[in-house]
Structure 1
Amino acid sequence: MTMAAAATREDAFTAADLDVADELGVQMVRFIRALNKAKSQVGKQGPDGIERAAYAILFHLIHDGPQRTSKLADALHAEISTISRQSSALVQHGLVERQADPVDGRACLLAPTSEGLRVFEENRRQRNKWLATVLADWPEEDRQTLNRLLHRLNSGIETSIPQIADPASAQAKGA
Structure 2
Amino acid sequence: MPSPVEEAAFTDTELDIADELGVQLVRFMRLLTKAKSQVAKLGPDGIERAAYAILFQLVHDGPQRTSRLAEALHAEISTISRQSSSLVQHGLVERLADPEDGRACLLAPTSEGLRVFEENRRQRNRWLAEVLAEWPEEERRVLNKLLDRLNTGIEAHAPQLADQVSARSKGESA
> TM-score of the superposition, structure 1-length normalised?
0.91
Gaps of 5+ in 2: none
Contact residue 44 and residue 52 of structure 1 kept, 8 A? no
Question: 1:1-175 to 2 correspondence within 5 Å?
Answer: 3-9=2-8, 11=9, 13-43=10-40, 46-161=43-158, 162-163=161-162, 164-165=165-166, 169-171=170-172
Structure 1 residue runs of 5 or longer lacking an equivalent are none
Q: Tell me the secondary structure at the aligned position of residue 102 of structure 2.
A: coil
Alignment RMSD (CA, Å): 1.7
- Following TM superposition, by how much is the alpha carbon of 1:73 offset from its aligned partner in structure 2, in angstroms? 0.3
**Measured at CA, do residues 75 and 43 of structure 1 come closer, stay the same or move farther in structure 2, by a change above 3 Å?**
same
C-alpha deviation, 1:45, in angstroms: 7.3
Whole-angstrom CA distance in 2 between matches of 1:132 and 1:79: 34
- Separation in structure 1 between the aligned mates of residue 91 and residue 50 of structure 2, nearest angstrom: 17
- Report the Cα distance in structure 1 between the residues aligned to 2:18 and 2:169, rounded to whole angstroms: 28
**Partner amino acid, structure 1, of 2:112:** E
Q: Number of paired residues?
A: 170
For residues 105-158 of structure 1, the C-alpha deviation after alignment (integer angstroms, 9 at most, x for no partner) is: 000000000100000000000000000000001000110000000000011011
Instruction: Calculate the TM-score normalised by the size of structure 2.
Output: 0.92
- Higher helix proportion, which one? 2
Q: Residue 41 of structure 1: CA displacement?
A: 1.4
SS state at 1:160 partner: helix
Percent identity (aligned): 71
Q: Distance in 1 between matches of 2:147 and 2:123?
A: 21
Cα deviation 1:71-101 (Å, max 9, x = unaligned): 0000000000000000000000110000000
